[in-house]
């Protein structure tokens, strides 16, 4: 069998240009057509490189773009998943869409999260195609919409029931890899009071003061429990009081107060159990004080149909060793497991499609969403090498990479 050396099948300038082109097409949520143009760019790129490609229309004009290297149907198939959207480019100290190459980096919004990764996955597929390599199972690139929002794109993949032997989600992991991360849900807690003139506070019920009591009780009763719920791959259970809005004016007793919570939970906890804990506190406070009224619900704009459970892929899965060994061969040392990774689409693929999924992608997560986001060109080159090795180990029985 011929030896496949991936870098002989593409030029580094192609990888740089592809990343630049993707970064130069804004795809954040304030772009009227959002990811549409990026999806169309990738579609044309695949066509030009003789890679089978299709759209999945999702909502309005927004669409996933799916590309295939068809396998023989005799072995493992693999999803390479990346999101097409980025966060907004506001308050950046560099030109977000210039994609300038300087000091060995490409600079701009999405370079690290995660248009650089999209470029790496696509370039790996192009190299396979040019080398006429037919893997045992299909390699399926899923460029999905909305990951920075409601994950509409990967939710669609779940609804379609796309099933492969494993998946890689290409969030930046800086030569580490993640097999687990916390689940994530947003909750709204609305405290109801009664307005009155501030000169007659006894006629009203101050919702802001009630909210303060609720917050204090959560800190006393739940925080210690969260510390105890520790998972070695994701850390401890967490919550954040994100925003609080209450009242209508300084001289009016506040009749309402809305607290918005971000809740990061670990295996053993569920959406129901997590909500139940807040509900218990609400019920307890109501018992102590009949004027206390509150209700909890999931933040409406945070969910479509699926929840956002934790990711937990067994270390015994073959895809995990394929990823670990591939990184090791390139960086020449044992890679570490990334803990404390934020929520990713990997959890949807693993939970709802039961696809063993690992998070691995180029670049430093600490630079994602920043005012001077950038990715090292060397990291992109190494990532293509690592993806090719993962495919060789996982999807090709007769090894083609030394
Ligand atoms: Zn991301």
Cα(119) to centroid(ligand 1), Å: 14
- Across the range 185-205, mean pLDDT stands at 97
Cα(67) to centroid(ligand 1), Å: 20
Cα(352) to centroid(ligand 1), Å: 20
Question: pLDDT at position 94, please?
Answer: 96
Question: Closest Cα to residue 51, out of 174, 164, 143?
Answer: 143
Cα(96) to centroid(ligand 1), Å: 16
**Residues 236 and 227 sit within 8 Å (Cβ to Cβ):** yes
Cα(171) to centroid(ligand 1), Å: 5
Res 2 pLDDT > 80: no
Question: pLDDT at position 285, please?
Answer: 98
| DSSP-assigned beta bridge partners for residue 169 | 81, 359
The Cα–Cα gap between 280 and 275 comes to 9
Torsion region of 90: left, alpha or beta (phi above 0 gives left; psi -120 to 50 gives alpha): beta
| Structural domains of the chain sorted by starting position, each given as residue range(s) with its CATH number in brackets | 6-181+310-395 (3.40.630.10), 183-302 (3.30.70.360)
Helix (H, G, I), strand (E, B) or coil at 75: coil
Per residue in 366-393, pLDDT (tens digit) is 999 999 999 999 999 999 999 999 999 9
Cα(85) to centroid(ligand 1), Å: 8
Per residue in 61-97, pLDDT (tens digit) is 899 999 999 999 999 999 999 999 999 999 999 999 9
**Residues 82 and 117 sit within 8 Å (Cβ to Cβ):** yes
Cα(148) to centroid(ligand 1), Å: 7
Res 221 pLDDT > 60: yes
Q: How confident is the model at residue 343 (pLDDT cuts 50, 70, 90)?
A: very high
Element (H, E) at 385: helix 377-395
Element (H, E) at 141: strand 139-144
Lowest mean pLDDT among 137-146, 163-172, 298-307, 328-337: 298-307
Q: How many CA atoms lie within 13 A of 263 on its CB side?
A: 32
- Across the range 349-357, mean pLDDT stands at 98
Name the phi and psi angles at 186, rounded to 5. -105, 140
Res 398 pLDDT > 90: no
Q: What is the CA radius of gyration of the chain?
A: 24
Res 1 pLDDT > 70: no
Cα(259) to centroid(ligand 1), Å: 26
Tokens read off for 224:
């210690």
Res 217 pLDDT > 80: yes
Cα(169) to centroid(ligand 1), Å: 9
Q: Of all residues in the chain, what percent are helix, strand and coil, respectively (each to 5)?
A: 35, 25, 40
Cα(136) to centroid(ligand 1), Å: 29
The Cα–Cα gap between 162 and 202 comes to 60
Q: What is the mean pLDDT of the chain?
A: 96
């Amino acid at each position: 069998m011929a030896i496949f050396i991936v870098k002989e099948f593409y030029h580094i300038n192609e990888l740089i240009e592809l990343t630049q082109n993707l970064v130069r097409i804004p795809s954040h949520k304030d772009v009227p057509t959002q990811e549409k143009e990026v999806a169309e760019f990738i579609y044309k790129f695949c066509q030009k490189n003789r890679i089978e490609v299709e759209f999945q229309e999702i909502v309005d004009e927004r669409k996933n773009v799916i590309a295939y290297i068809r396998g023989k149907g005799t072995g493992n198939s693999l999803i390479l998943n990346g999101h097409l959207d980025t966060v907004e480019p506001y308050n950046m100290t560099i030109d977000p869409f210039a994609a300038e190459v300087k000091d060995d980096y490409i600079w701009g919004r999405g370079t690290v999260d995660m248009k650089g990764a999209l470029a790496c996955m696509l370039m790996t597929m192009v190299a396979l195609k040019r080398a006429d390599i037919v893997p045992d199972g299909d390699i399926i690139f899923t460029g999905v919409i909305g990951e920075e929002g409601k994950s509409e794109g990967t939710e669609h993949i779940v609804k379609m029931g796309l099933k492969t032997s494993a998946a890689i989600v290409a969030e930046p992991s800086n030569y580490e890899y993640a097999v687990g991360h916390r689940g994530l849900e947003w909750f709204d807690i609305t405290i109801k009071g009664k307005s009155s003139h501030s000169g007659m506070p006894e006629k009203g019920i101050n919702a802001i003061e009630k909210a303060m009591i609720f917050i204090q009780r959560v800190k006393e009763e739940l925080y210690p429990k969260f510390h105890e719920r520790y998972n070695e791959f994701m850390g401890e259970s967490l919550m954040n009081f994100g925003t609080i809005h209450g009242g209508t004016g300084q001289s009016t007793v506040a009749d309402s107060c809305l607290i918005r919570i971000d809740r990061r939970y670990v295996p053993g906890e569920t959406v129901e159990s997590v909500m139940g804990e807040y509900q218990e506190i609400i019920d307890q406070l109501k018992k102590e004080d009949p004027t206390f009224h509150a209700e909890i619900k999931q933040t409406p704009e945070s969910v479509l149909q699926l929840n956002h459970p934790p990711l937990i892929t067994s270390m015994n899965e073959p895809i995990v060793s394929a990823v670990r060994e591939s990184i090791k061969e390139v960086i020449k040392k044992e890679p570490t497991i990334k803990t404390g990774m934020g929520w990713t689409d990997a959890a949807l693929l693993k939970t709802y499609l039961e696809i063993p999924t690992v998070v691995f992608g180029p670049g430093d997560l600490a630079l994602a969403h920043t005012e001077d986001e950038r990715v090292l060109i060397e990291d992109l080159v190494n990532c293509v090498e690592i993806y090719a090795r993962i495919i060789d180990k996982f999807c090709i029985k007769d090894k083609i990479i030394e």
